[in-house]
Every structure is written in structure tokens, then in C-alpha cells.
Chains A and B, each alone.
Chain A
């Protein structure tokens, strides 16, 4: 029960007027950035990071956590109202959220999504409290070889599971590692790739890179594809309007999906690199597979929105476990978060909870309080945020670019860093355009120094032999995990087919209890269609099991309307 005492003390320590105001401001600003087209949590955190520089470390961490959650939820609003996910983690929310809005049920959809986020965030905070100390204890026994392998494993997971083109993902990570080598060599003090510039001696700061890749890069990409010509349509929403609040049926229907999504999302989120996108899509598939009326999915089923929303938020909490205990960011947003912590002299890793418990528990507590604030602000300010989603991109684009320039300048007062930010913006545009992964680049940039240091220490221990990785039990386990991750693309279809068959069987049994529905459901194993002839998200058009719906696709495999198609 010590952990809950620690959590309770962490929450009490944060309950000051200043921290509560910072929480509120963080959630508000995170949501404002989150609802802007094309800007996800990573861009939001990167752009808003400079705002925390004048705060004390606790206040800064509280605000960052609030921005993180706010931005995560901001994407849901655009998913539901204009069918445009702010980032990939909220793609699953469009499947049923947007049809609900079309039916005039945008209010219940957004309120239940907020409740799902709150419940999942709360469960996530409690699960972190249990999982983080245990993981930290295990990680404390790790030596440099294991930490090096963890760095590689995290990146590998990101590249294999999330990336569309794995080779391009790996190249993105290598570019990040390469950028991380700029500056003074930590081992011997030699200058590397500084070209005589004093500005580069301390290396390339990750903030200009993150703001450039995620902020400017996204804006340029949207401009290139004509986002400034779009005509936005939307569904108006009012707290006073009839039908704003979820019905009793909505609440009853959401209970199971929210709980299942919370635990599933947390578990998936703890795997470095897997993240919220995978969690939300898995939750959607799970809910659709076990629902008594799967034919409603894609047409406005509350379970199809509540489950993925919960999973998405719980995964954000789960990602905190490897971040706090191993120092490994599991996603682009947590990579920006870790960069912010490093700026405050806080080095996440196995010793953090031992040496800096007030920070670690303060962060976990602030995530919990951030959820409470998110729920309050969400429900009463949904119409306000919905109105921000209506501001056309042609007006937002110059404003975002200006914020990026000013925000980067305020970090160190360096115009060189602003130029680096702009260059990274162009790089980010081309990376997006040609299928590379800006997230892998930023994570590698943040992890590069840790990777190099641990590799150096490993080579010192082993006298330059790579055989050390095969001599230590934990290292061998980690290498086996890496081999498994690499083999995932080969074995995933078989595993998915097995899971699909099991879930279809469960659904069939449940449906069999309802008279007159059995004939509508697929037989186990065939699984290519669900009732109504709609294609299951986990099945390809050939009927063979395939990946979950790709980013930007509906459950039926159709492309999502882009921003240009908003009506």
C-alpha cells in the first residue's frame, strides 16, 4: 500500500492554487493545440514547452502533463466533429464518433469520450503507481548492455509495429542518432560535426528539431496538399442544446468498453514504441468482435467510440512506465516530454523513483489531477474548443508558424536554433511526404546520448567484444525480444487469425443467446465480414486477416476524408 500512500502524498503536495491554475492552463492550451488541424500532442508539447521555462520544476512538470493530456483529447474533438483525427491515436475515434455527430449526437459522443478518457486516465494513474516501482526495481539490476539493448528495442518496436515502411523508419532513427552525435563527445571531449561553430558545441537541442519536424513540417505538408483551400463544415454543439448529455443507455453501453479499453490500452502502452494508436485500434477491433450487434459499428456505436478513447488515454499513461523507469520514451509525445524533463535536470531511469521520488510521484499525481481537470474543462468548454476547430487552416497556418518561431527563440535566445527549426521543418515535410518517421528521428535524437554512453560502457566492460550481449541472462532475453519484434510481421497474420477466430466464436456464442441474430454473424474462422456485409477492420479485402485499418482508413478500408473533404 506504500505506493498508494506515495500517490496520495504526491496529489496532496500538488494541491496548491498555483499548480491547479497551471493544470487548468495546461489542459486548455493542450486542447487548443490539439484541435488545430495537423497538430498532435507531440507538436503541442514541443510548441508549448517554452512556456514552462519560467516555472519551477514542479510547476513545469504539472503543466507539461496537463498539456499532454489536453492535446491527446483535443484530437478527439476534431475526430468527432469534422472527421479529421488530430493524430493517428484518435483515428479509431472517427469510426463511430463522426457518424454519431452526423446523427446529431456530437454532444453525447464528446461527453462520453471525455468520461472514457477520465476513467482510463484514472485507472492508468493507479496502474502506473503499481507498475512503475516494480519495473524500476527490475530495471535497477540492468547494466549498460541491457540499457543499450532497451534503447534499441524501443526504437525497433516503434519502427516495426507503427511504421508503414520499416526500412525508412530505421533510416529515420539512424538520422536521429546521427544528429545526436553533433557536439562534444562525452567520452573524450572531442568536437564532432560542429564545423567550428560555438553554437553547435553543446549539440543540437531536441526542441528546435521537435518543433520543426512536428509543427512546421505538418503545416508545410498541409499547405502542400491544399489545406488552405479547404471549406470546413461542422456540427454545431451547445451545452444547453437538447441531447447534449449521454443517455442512460449510452452510459450502460460504454461501461464495459471503457474498462476493457483502459486495461488493454495500459498494457499496450507500456511496451516501448507500441503506443496509443495500436491500443485504440486493438480496442476497436476487440469491441466490435465481442459486441452482440457488431453491425452497428461504423454507424455510430457508442462502444466503438468509448473503448478506443479509453485505450488511447490509458496507453498514454502506460507509456509513462518505460519513460519513468527506463528513460525510454514510447512515442513522439513522450520523447518531447522526456526532453522537457532533461531540461529540468531530471533524468528518467531506474534510479529516478529512488533518488527523486517527489518528482516521480509528483508527475504521476499530476497526470491524475490533469485527468480530473480535463473532465471538468472538457465537458463545459466543448463548444469553445469546437469553435476553434472551425478556424480555417489558411488562418491557422501563419499563426502556428509564428508561434513556432517565437517559441523556439525563447528556449535559448538563439536565432541559429530558429534556423535549425526551420530546416527541420523542411526535413519534416519531406519525411512525411516520402514515408519516413519523424517520431523515430526525435526519439533516436533523445536516446542517442544514452545509447552511445551505454554502448561505450559495455565495450569498456567487455574489452571491445560484442559477445558480452550473449553472456548475460537479461541481455539474452532482450535480444530474444528483439528477434521476436523483427519476426512480428511474419507471424502476426497467424496470431491475428487465431485471435479473430476466438473473438468471432465469443461473439457468435453471445449472439446465439439473442433470437434471430445468429444467421447474421460470420462463422468462426471465416471472419471476413460481419453482419451487414461490412468488412471487419482486421480483415483485408481478400478475406485474409491483415493489419488493423491503416492510419487514415475507415473500418471498411476506405480512406478517411482528408481535411479538404470536411463538410
Chain B
């Protein structure tokens, strides 16, 4: 953010206007940091081996440098006045209708529920953890359909377990319940 402000001030002197960082600019800023760390680590790897052959750092350095150049260019473009943000460029089909709005809160709750499912998957077992996950998310998204939600939450994990574990022998965690 600070760098964006600095760039804004610096650019003001040259007559080119920058704008407040958009969502895309912030995202690209994060990508830039990750690519910079990647590139820095690439320079810790050998460019060439002692035998004169290509080292493990050869390809990563090329990727890292190209990535830095591209990300910086995109960041500068996205900070320019009048630059489109992701939403505007993608259009209505991609971003949804205005009357449905944006739902970052709901999405965040679902992501959290999925993260909890991942965390408890091995300890509670596939059936129990999936049943809890389905119940939580269905009661969040599909309100007013209690019976449907309960039936889906109980039946689907069992069906899933039967398919993957009993039929395909895929090795799902049992957790609290005995294997069947």
C-alpha cells in the first residue's frame, strides 16, 4: 500500500496520474512479494554445477526474473488512472448480476468450514467430518429446508464412504466410526 502511495506521489511529478490501489493491484502486490521471495531463493540455487552443467537454479531464475518483470508491469498498469479492475474486465457473466450483489462473508464462512473439515478429516473420520461440514454449510446456504439438509448431511457422507472405501478401497480415514 505504501509503495503504491509513493508511486502515486512520484508519478504526480511526471504528470501521469495513479489511482487508489484496486483489488487487482493489491492481489498483484501479494503476487509480487511471493515472486520476489521465489526469485531470491532461486539465486541461492546454483546457476551452473561445478561440472559446468546447468544447475538447479537455472530454470527458477529465468522464471523468477520474467515473473518479476511481468508482475511489476501489470501492477503499474493496474495502478494507472482509468485502469480496469478484474470485475469490470470480466463483465457481467463472470461477475454476476448486481441484484445478487457480492457475498464475501458467505464465501469466507464456507472457506472456513472447508478448512475445519480438512483439519478434522483424519481425526473425526470421513463420515463424521463430512456430515458436520454438510450440515453446517447447508444450514448456512439452504435455509428453510431442514429435512432436506438433514437427509443430505447424513446420507451423502455414507454413500461417499461406501463408494470410495468399500467399493474402490481408496483408504478413507475411519476416525470415530468403525470401518465397514
Extra inter-chain contacts (7) besides given A395-B152, A397-B141, CB under 8 Å: A54-B168, A171-B31, A187-B55, A223-B103, A429-B107, A560-B93, A565-B97
A54→B126 CA distance, assembly (Å)? 19
B99 interface contact, C-beta 8 A = yes
Say yes or no: B102 contacts A225, CB within 8 Å. Answer: yes
Chain B residues with CB below 8 A from A229, complex form: 100, 103
Chain B residues with CB below 8 A from A562, complex form: 92-93, 95-97, 100
B43 interface contact, C-beta 8 A = no
Q: Taking beta carbons and an 8 Å cutoff, which residues of B are in contact with A?
A: 23-24, 27-28, 31, 35, 38, 41, 45-46, 49, 53-56, 58-60, 63-64, 66-67, 70-71, 73-74, 77, 85-87, 89-97, 99-104, 106-107, 110-111, 114-115, 117-118, 121-122, 126, 130, 133-134, 137-138, 141-142, 148, 152, 156-157, 160, 164, 168-173
Closest B residue to A463 by CB, please name it.
B52
Chain A residues with CB below 8 A from B85, complex form: 434
| Given known A-B contacts A418-B118, A418-B121, A433-B87, A187 and B54 have beta carbons under 8 A apart | yes
Chain B residues with CB below 8 A from A432, complex form: 90, 94
A250 interface contact, C-beta 8 A = no
Please, what's the 1-or-0 string for A409-429, where 1 marks a CB less than 8 Å from any CB in chain B?
110010100110010011001
A509 interface contact, C-beta 8 A = no
The 7 closest A-B pairs by CB, nearest first: A552-B93, A225-B96, A226-B100, A434-B86, A185-B56, A398-B137, A410-B170
A190→B63 CA distance, assembly (Å)? 18
A422→B70 CA distance, assembly (Å)? 26
Chain B residues with CB below 8 A from A426, complex form: 111
Closest A residue to B30 by CB, please name it.
A430
Closest A residue to B38 by CB, please name it.
A178
| Given known A-B contacts A167-B74, A171-B67, A435-B24, A228 and B141 have beta carbons under 8 A apart | yes
A195→B111 CA distance, assembly (Å)? 26
Closest A residue to B110 by CB, please name it.
A223
> A-B pairs with CB below 8 Å: how many?
219
Say yes or no: B170 contacts A50, CB within 8 Å. Answer: yes
A60→B2 CA distance, assembly (Å)? 53
Chain B residues with CB below 8 A from A422, complex form: 111, 114-115, 118
A39→B85 CA distance, assembly (Å)? 25
Shortest distance from the beta carbon of A152 to any chain B beta carbon, whole Å: 12
Shortest distance from the beta carbon of B150 to any chain A beta carbon, whole Å: 13
A451→B63 CA distance, assembly (Å)? 12
Shortest distance from the beta carbon of B19 to any chain A beta carbon, whole Å: 16
Please, what's the 1-or-0 string for A191-233, where 1 marks a CB less than 8 Å from any CB in chain B?
0110000000000000000000000100110011111111000
A1 interface contact, C-beta 8 A = no
Instruction: Pick the residue among A53, A228, A452, A565 that contacts B106 (CB under 8 A).
Output: A228
A468 interface contact, C-beta 8 A = no
A472 interface contact, C-beta 8 A = no
A302-310, A399-407, A514-522, A534-542: which lies at the interface: A399-407
In A359-412, the 8 Å CB interface with B consists of 392, 394-395, 397-399, 401-403, 405-406, 409-410
Instruction: Pick the residue among A397, A425, A433 that contacts B86 (CB under 8 A).
Output: A433
Can you name 21 A-B pairs with beta carbons within 8 Å?
A54-B168, A171-B70, A171-B71, A177-B63, A178-B60, A187-B49, A192-B56, A193-B41, A193-B60, A219-B110, A226-B101, A405-B114, A406-B126, A406-B164, A409-B126, A429-B107, A430-B27, A435-B90, A460-B53, A551-B93, A564-B96
Chain A residues with CB below 8 A from B45, complex form: 190, 192
Closest B residue to A416 by CB, please name it.
B118
Say yes or no: B56 contacts A405, CB within 8 Å. Answer: no
Say yes or no: A552 contacts B70, CB within 8 Å. Answer: no
Chain A residues with CB below 8 A from B115, complex form: 422
In A525-567, the 8 Å CB interface with B consists of 550-553, 559-560, 562-565
A164 interface contact, C-beta 8 A = yes
Say yes or no: A434 contacts B91, CB within 8 Å. Answer: no
A174 interface contact, C-beta 8 A = yes
Shortest distance from the beta carbon of B75 to any chain A beta carbon, whole Å: 11
Say yes or no: A216 contacts B101, CB within 8 Å. Answer: no
Say yes or no: A398 contacts B74, CB within 8 Å. Answer: no
Say yes or no: A434 contacts B141, CB within 8 Å. Answer: no
Shortest distance from the beta carbon of B130 to any chain A beta carbon, whole Å: 5
Shortest distance from the beta carbon of B39 to any chain A beta carbon, whole Å: 9
Say yes or no: A433 contacts B91, CB within 8 Å. Answer: no
Closest A residue to B133 by CB, please name it.
A402
Chain B residues with CB below 8 A from A225, complex form: 95-96, 100, 102-103
Which interface residue of B90, B104, B134 has the most chain A CB atoms within 10 A?
B90
| Given known A-B contacts A410-B171, A562-B92, A564-B96, A224 and B107 have beta carbons under 8 A apart | yes
A399→B103 CA distance, assembly (Å)? 19
Shortest distance from the beta carbon of A504 to any chain B beta carbon, whole Å: 28
Chain A residues with CB below 8 A from B96, complex form: 225-227, 562-564
A458→B44 CA distance, assembly (Å)? 23
Shortest distance from the beta carbon of A435 to any chain B beta carbon, whole Å: 5
Chain B residues with CB below 8 A from A165, complex form: 89
Chain A residues with CB below 8 A from B97, complex form: 226, 562, 564-565
Chain B residues with CB below 8 A from A563, complex form: 96
Shortest distance from the beta carbon of A127 to any chain B beta carbon, whole Å: 32
Chain A residues with CB below 8 A from B99, complex form: 564
